[in-house]
Homo-oligomer: A and B are copies of this chain.
């Protein structure tokens, strides 16, 4: 398979998100133009994005909503479920653990870890917070493929090293620190400060030309 650009994958995910809602509303088909408007892009972009993976539409008609959902789920690797561990049960970790959309999108939280004894033992959405010393053993036993880091910035690199050492190769980092990972490990960062700064930049340079 040819290499696919990350922005393309992101857009596919967005299309899927919209299609799920569109399906619930009872629509049977959708055109690339409608999908584009919802995804903030152009119809040509939508068709090009999809064309990397095959041809899913009917000319003159558009795309079958349910079919396209199924195709996108398969493309994104969502036709299997993904076990996930959350490292850090503070505010953000706890909020994530209780986020229901997690489960409905194919991701199962199989473990939550924290160093703070006062948090260990609490239940979050059916999963009990465990002491962080069980982290490596549990990863070996439960074989999660993805780790979500919700630890303070100072602890993030150490947490990354631990989960990577235990065999994890995909990490979602909520700590406000940029992490260094070995080759072959995918790290994605969700960083409040960065998002706000991009907005601040946009506002500052509104009068750009």
Q: Please report A residues at the B interface, Cβ cutoff 8 Å.
A: 1, 3-4, 6, 9-10, 12-14, 16-18, 21, 37-40, 75-78, 82, 84, 91-92, 94-96, 98-99, 101-102, 105-107, 145-146, 153, 169-172, 176-178, 180, 184, 186, 188, 190-206, 208-209
B1:A205 contact, CB within 8 angstroms = yes
Residues in B with CB closer than 8 Å to A169 are 203, 206
The oligomer's copy count stands at 2
Distance between Cα atoms of A17 and B75 in the complex (Å) = 34
Shortest distance from the beta carbon of A171 to any chain B beta carbon, whole Å: 8
Which residue of B has the minimal Cβ distance to A38? B178
A16:B203 contact, CB within 8 angstroms = no
Q: Could you name 12 residue pairs across A and B whose Cβ atoms are closer than 8 Å?
A: A1-B205, A18-B178, A21-B153, A21-B177, A75-B201, A78-B200, A82-B203, A91-B94, A92-B99, A105-B193, A106-B200, A186-B199
